[in-house]
Amino acid sequence: MRHVATAPDLRDPLKPETEIVAVGNEKPREACGIFGAYIPGHEAARAAFFGIFALQHRGQESAGIAASNGTSLSLTAEVGLVSQVFQEKDLADLQGHLAIAHTRYSTTGSNRRHNAQPIMAYGPRGAIAVGHNGNVINAMKLRDFCREEYGSKFNGSTDSEVIAELFAKIPGDDWFDISDKVMSLLNGAYSLVIMTKHELIAVRDPLGVRPLCLGKLDGGWVFASESAALDNLGAEFVRELEPGEVMIVNLNGIQNWVWSKASSTHKMCIFEQIYFARPDSVLDGSLAYQNRMRMGAIAYRENPVEADLVVGIPDSSTPHAAGFAAEANIPYSEGLVRNRYVGRTFIQPDQYMRDIGVKTKFNAMKQVISGKRIVVVDDSIVRSTTIRHVVKMLREAGAAEVHVRVAAPPIKSTCHFGVDMATLDQLIAANYSIDEICEIIGADSLSYLSLEGLEEAVSAGRNEYCRGCFTGKYPIDVQLEMDKLRMDRLVAEPVGAS
């Protein structure tokens, strides 16, 4: 469906909302992936499509692209995977050398069509489109501010819509001045791509919690959540944006500015290194795959074990397991096979399918496992649902012993900056000791990578990275738990309602 920026509400309110259900997935879930392109002489929407296609792992609930032909903005945004939302005819309608794109997993606001991004907003400078990765923890207060100060009306229930309203309506001499004022109001994590009819703006929050990088492509400039998206397009990786940095691309070229109150060292979410980012992405100057191999190697050095075979839980734990096996000098094997087409689906599973969800996703190769002492390496444990079923599956395949090694510390606290990680009562490490967890999952032994080991693996300085999910200490003050659906209850309220 093509939407043209001529009215505030760009989505069809009559179409039924659709929820996407994850089958057999208990991993932390990222907020989204963002992409921006300014490529004179080219159709930027096509680059944007392949950009978010490469970032599909960061969010599978909705996808959208906004483009400009220099006269008006056009937008397509819908619930579904990138390949489900966009067909050739959709891209043909998104003309122009300037585009931004977004693929989403909801962390604030439900998975509704009104919450699909990019989001359009209107102000004295005309229409803008915004794509956001992260979570702004004072969005409720700022929503009220926008209503009272600018008469803003909200169609959706996300913090991203609040950010879009602020950038559209706050007065300023230029986008650097506007960004200065908006950054002074926002509290939390936000990597942004913003576009007008003529300009592309990229913003990284003052803590640098969520990633964002710059590349060159066909005489133009592109921005992406991860460098892997640039590689897939054949773009040249230039660098990562600094915390608090704003970049503007227009006919005059590219300009940058760094907010004066930005952190001197980034506080990027350390889970980007562990799990979120693709292994072929560069984060903080190093390849994620190599960092994950080091996590596995250090996990072995900290807690060695005698075994015949090392297996990883595919696909996210493969580099961790490979690093563990190399350090331990134990053979590595793909003892578990993953059905890569089981992930997100529009089909609601019944109770029987929920019960066998992990079996639907993984299969153990009995001929490889039988009679062996197995070390199964996982990148993280949240609720323990997956690892419990995997241990059982390996035993049913004839494993003599099953030892579990986790290439990350125990997750003991929730995330407030753009990751859906379950509630405190659901986090197994927040409620049970390691010995108790070992008994719950049915393993012969269990150990986690230490926080010091993780920091060594990613070469973290003393003040770098957000480690809040492991320590309960965050780079800014947060409330104990946040409700990701807190704004959904406000959608139907009239303007001025509290």
Give the residue numbers annotated as catalytic, written as ranges. Answer: 32
Distance CA 116, CA 131 (A): 10
